[in-house]
Amino acid sequence: MSTDAIVMLKDDHKKILRTFKDFEEAGDNALKTKGDLVDRMIELLTVHTYIENEVMYPRVRELVPDLEDDVLESYEEHHVADVLVMELTAMKPSDERFDAKTTVLIENVRHHIEEEEDEWFPKVREALGRTVLQDIGAEMVAAEKKAPRRPSQPSALKKTIDAVIS
């Protein structure tokens, strides 16, 4: 497995996007399947945003000051996803707005992934190079071991609260 930070984040993106596609293809009456897929989305997104917020974004902010605005926008996009995820954890697949809320989450995260992969990652790779990205990736591996899996865990709640009061 590569420890290149961008390769690792793109691998996460693939898993997240696959889960989105599975949800969209599940069918209207597949409540159990949709519930399981949303649980999977929540775990994947909780871990992924934790690692980006705790490691990738602060390091890029420190090492590539020209990308400050991009990093700040990414924090805000994570905040929107965090709010939707928190709301989905309190819902059942049979709730009237469950599918609609999940669809909004999917649309927002897809937009975020496209911006990162098409605009942000190429600039980061050019500015930092392979060795630095491998060092950041190693930090991300360590962070993933302690990353929250559910948005209700204290470290995930802290991230959401920090975004609201910052």
How many residues make up the chain in this entry?
A: 166
Tens-place pLDDT, residues 130-139: 999 999 999 9
User: How far is residue 93's CA from residue 148's CA, in Å, rounded to a whole number?
Assistant: 23
Question: If you average pLDDT over residues 141-164, what whole number do you get?
Answer: 68
CA distances from 158 to 67, 124, 129, 140 (A): 24, 27, 31, 18
pTM: 0.89
pLDDT at 156 over 90: no
Least confident of 88-92, 109-113, 151-155: 151-155
User: How far is residue 166's CA from residue 121's CA, in Å, rounded to a whole number?
Assistant: 25
Tens-place pLDDT, residues 108-123: 999 999 999 999 999 9
